[in-house]
Structure formats: structure tokens, C-alpha cells
Amino acid sequence: EDVVAGIRTPKPIAALAEELPQAYKQFEQIARKLERHYRDVQDMEFTIERGRLYMLQTRSGKRTAEAAVKIAVDMVRERLITKQEAVLRVEAMQVDQLLHRRIDPKASVEVLATGLAASPGAAYGTAVFDADRAEAMAAQGEKVILVRIETNPDDVHGMIAAEGVLTSRGGRTSHAAVVARGMGKPCVAGAETVHVDLTKRRFTAGGKTIKEGEPFTIDGSTGRVIAGQVPMLDAEVSGELEELLRWADGFRRLEVWANGDYPHDAERARGFGAQGIGLCRTEHMFMEQERLPIVQRMILSPSEDERRRELDRLLVFQRDDFYGILGTMRGLPVVIRLIDPPLHEFLPSLEDLLVEVTRAQALGRPEREWAEQSRLLDAVRNLHEQNPMLGLRGCRLGLLFPEIIEMQTRAIMEAAARLTKEGVDVQPEIMVPLVGTLEELRRTSEVIDRTARAVLSEQRVAVAYLVGTMIELPRAALTAGQIAESAEFFSFGTNDLTQTAFGFSRDDAEGKFLLKYVDEKILPRNPFETLDRDGVGRLMQIAVDEGRAARPSLAVGICGEHGGDPDSIAFCEELGLDYVSCSPYRVPAARLAAAHARLARVERDR
């Protein structure tokens, strides 16, 4: 009782060997016996009275993530348990913890607010409220955290430079969350009690105001926003973890691929054991600062000829991007998704432009000073949609402007042809997004195949490639048998499939009502975190069955954020998918989860 109450500080067990050597020897023998019997680390209570040892109780010992891995591997080496048992004893989420910096559990912290745990890991830095400033300050060696109401593709360069990201709006599949996870950066999203004032460059939370340049900490594993700097523990990938994951690879059937948009993503993914790139998002490449003006000129071009001139400039950048990522993944497949977001995302916001032009007019400035902004405003108005997520995007964009698809296909195939000539084995797979009908895919595939044939003829080289589609609309899932006539592979885009199946806005639902739904058991789980088996899962089952009935060789995977969730991975195993694809930093945990899923299925089928 004194020890539990903190009145006395116990001595280390090694001290017993010196003070009561006979009792220590007896305790050591009993401890070995108990560990061998229970085949697990034991938490034992004992007492010694007049030199005699009395064992009071024993139970399996609690352990940290690091200890769980080390204990499992050590017990295999001691031949107490099998490799299969070792793999099953470590949870996928424990592996995930080991790959990210985390706050020291002993540290005392002042929590200002709690949002959504959108991307794991902890980060410390000074508050910065726009992406350009974040990039500039980081270039001077300062650690910064990017604070936004919500992020968009314009902010990517600032997110790359920042230590972490905090947003007051958005959910676990919002832009900030998805991009941060892909980069392995901590992110707290949807912290609605954090009031962000972008004009005054400050935020208020928990009765405290943090101004630009002032320090604070975020914990993306718990969603906490914390005042000041707190002690942290660095991530470590031990030899024991690598060995455990190699054992897991021997038990799993599902391949584990990674989502990655740049060569450094691909390199990191390979290092973590990824067997391919399941989603390379080309639009993120468009948002880089030297390319964005070209993209904007392309969008604003009044004619196809002018549009093609700007696309020719973009071709050089895209070709280099694909050369890098295909080369890094040599010998492994790379699924490249054609442009997906609506065009207005590449232009300044309607509200900002309206304020600029109105202010210039009110101040009576010469028209030449604001003519360009006025032209941009007209273009943004023309592209404005009430519901852009279900508007002119994905394959619809490519069908209206086929020259965009031609440029992207040419960039992919020219990069692949160059690498092939250099003796590098490349496996490009071109993925068409937001397909709802067979005819959409067929017509897009015609543009892709025509362009690919032209490039390979020019380069005098043969390169095998596949053309497939994302299944992210209920209609696509329900008509998968038809779509498989033209698709060589399916990849479930489960973020949008969940959104369209439920009719939930993935950017708004978590912050408004979804978490209350989960708390009050209206929904058993957050469907943006773990796949909804009854609804979305049923659509997936139909798509797999009908797709493979029409095309037995059809490869099927998943590239939404569910690809890193252990329960969703188990469902993918049941569906018979070929692979799951997730953020690079989630690959090790996904490898272990895939092994767990396979072993559980084998056990059930006995």
C-alpha cells in the first residue's frame, strides 16, 4: 500500500540479489516457470517474510508499443511462442505509434482545444497563418505550424515547409488531413473551438490567444492543441520491428501499396515495404509555385490552341515528375490518377478576388491596375459551382477538355519510354477518376490509347501499360460489370464512395453532426475512418463480383484513406481484393493488419 500511495520508493529488483540472495534465486526460478507457463511477460506481486518468499499474484504485464514488439520478438528467439503468435500479439496501431514523434506521457500539458486526430504524431512550432510565410520562415530554419480555417491545394507548399497543420474546419478526409498523412506530418483538423482570425494573424482557444510567431504544440494522435513547447519522444524503427514485419509479410495475402505524389514519397514508401504506388495524384504537382501561373493561364485561355500552348509548358514538368516516381519504383506498379479536382481550385478564391476588385473600384484606382484581377474574377465566376465535388471534375473535365488528358498521357508515356530505354522496368497504370458510366471510361480510354500509341511509335519502344478506373460513385459500383469491359483494373476511392453513398459531405459532416452520431450510436463507427460494411461494403462486393465476372483478370484494390485502417483492411481481405494502398507512414501498420486479417480468415475457414 505504501508503494501504491507513493509514500515509499521501491528498490530495483536487482537489489534483492544482494540483500536476500536465497529469496532472489527462488524468485528467479518461479518467474521463469510462470513466464514459460503463460508464454507471456508477467506482472508478479510477492512478499518476503522472515526470509521466506510468498507469491501473491501474477498477470500478463502491461506494455508500451516498443515493449510489445521487443517482447514478441524475444519470445520467438527464446522459443516460447511461434512467429505467428508474435505477429498476432502486436496491434497494428502500436506499430503506427512507433513511426511518429509523440508527446512524453509524463509531461504536464495545458490543453487549449481538442479537434480531430487527423494525422498522427506531435509537432511544435510558432504559429503561421499563410502558406507563403510558412515556407519563407521555414527556409530561415524556423519551426512553424501552419494554422488555417481549412486548407486547399494552394497551401501545399506551406504544408510541406511546416512541422504540422492545424485547421478549425474539416474532417479526417479533408484536404488538410489527407495531404498531411501523405507527408507524415501531424495534423489536428476540425478544431471548432479554435477561432482563427486570418486578418489579425492569431487564433483563440481555451481563453488564450496565440499570435503569429508565438509557440504552441499539436498532437495529431489525440487531436490536442497544447500551449507552449512540451517534451517529446522521437520515433524509432528498431531491428525487432523490421523482423516482426518480415514475419507478417509471410502470413499475409493482400499486397500493401502506398499513396504518393512525388519521388521522395515513393522512396519513403519503398523503405517502409510498399509493393507499389496505388495512387499518384497529379493535381498536387500543378500547385507548385512555378507551375501554378501556367495552369491558371491554361484555364483562362479563350481557345484550344492557347490552351495547348500552356499544356505544352506543363508537359515538361509532368514528364519529369513521372520520370522520377516511375524510376524510384522500378519493377513495381505505379497507378497515376489523371486530373481530378474542379478547375476553380487552381484559381484564387472568389471572395478574395471580389474584395480586391471592389476595393480598387471604390478607391478610384486606374483600371489597368486591377484589370487582370477583374479578368480572373470573371473566370472564377464562370467556373463557380454550387456543389463542385459533384460538378465538373474527374473524367468529366477530361471529356470536355481532352487536350488535358492527352498532355498527361504523353507525359506518362514519354517518361516510361525514356526509362525503358535506360533499362529500367516500369509498370505505369493510368487511372480515370469519377467514372459513372461505361461510355465515359470508353471515350477517355480512346484518348489515352491514341496518345500512348503515338508516343511509343515516336520513341520506337514498347511499354506495357494498363488503363483502369476509380470506383467512387454508387452507379459505378452497381454497373461494374459493364465498366469492366473497358477497365483493366478497379481501385476503390472509398473517401468519395462513402461520401456519395451516405450523402455526407466529408469536409463538413465530422465537424457538424457525424461525431455526435457515433457518440449516440446512431452510427456504430465513423464511416470515413472505418468502412461501412453494410452500405459502402455492399457496393464494393457488387463491384468486385460483377467486375471479375465480366473480366476474370481484373485487378482490384483500394486507395482511399481506409486502406490504412485495420478493420477496413480485414474487410478488404474478406472481399478478396488484391491490394490496399495507404499513406507511406501507414504502410508498416497495414502490413501487420493484412497479416492479422489473413490469419483470422484462415482460422474461420477451418
Architecture field, domain 252-342+385-601: Alpha-Beta Barrel (3.20)
> What's the pLDDT tens digit per position in 163-190?
999 999 988 878 888 889 888 899 999 9
Closest to 193 (Cα-Cα) out of 172, 208, 178, 211: 208
pLDDT at 244 over 90: yes
pLDDT at 539 over 80: yes
Strand-strand pairing, 489-492 and 555-558? parallel
Tell me the pTM: 0.84
Q: Where are the domains of the chain?
A: 1-61, 103-233, 252-342+385-601, 350-383
Integer Cα distance of 183 and 117 in angstroms: 15
> What's the pLDDT tens digit per position in 107-146?
999 999 999 999 989 999 999 999 999 999 999 989 999 9
> What CATH homologous superfamily does 103-233 map to?
Phosphohistidine domain (3.50.30.10)
Give the pLDDT of residue 455: 98
pLDDT at 379 over 90: no
Q: What's the count of helices (H) and strands (E) in the chain, helices before strands?
A: 27, 23
Give the pLDDT of residue 106: 86
Lowest mean per-residue pLDDT among 2-11, 240-249, 565-574, 576-585:
2-11
> What's the pLDDT tens digit per position in 251-290?
999 999 999 999 999 999 999 999 999 999 988 788 777 8
User: In this prediction, what percent of the chain has a pLDDT beyond 90?
Assistant: 70
CATH T-level fold of 1-61: D-amino Acid Aminotransferase; Chain A, domain 1 (3.30.470)
Give the pLDDT of residue 134: 95
> What's the pLDDT tens digit per position in 556-588?
999 988 999 999 999 999 999 999 999 998 999
Asked if 249 contacts 591 with a C-beta cutoff of 8 angstroms, the reply is: yes
Mean pLDDT of 397-414: 96
pLDDT at 5 over 80: no
Q: Name 72's bridge partners.
A: none
Q: pLDDT band for position 1 (50/70/90)?
A: low
Integer Cα distance of 595 and 86 in angstroms: 11
Integer Cα distance of 123 and 163 in angstroms: 6
Give the pLDDT of residue 103: 92
Asked if 259 contacts 579 with a C-beta cutoff of 8 angstroms, the reply is: no
Q: pLDDT band for position 4 (50/70/90)?
A: low
Calculate the alpha carbon distances from 433 to 430, 501, 503, 596 in Å.
10, 17, 19, 31
Residues labelled catalytic: 175, 559
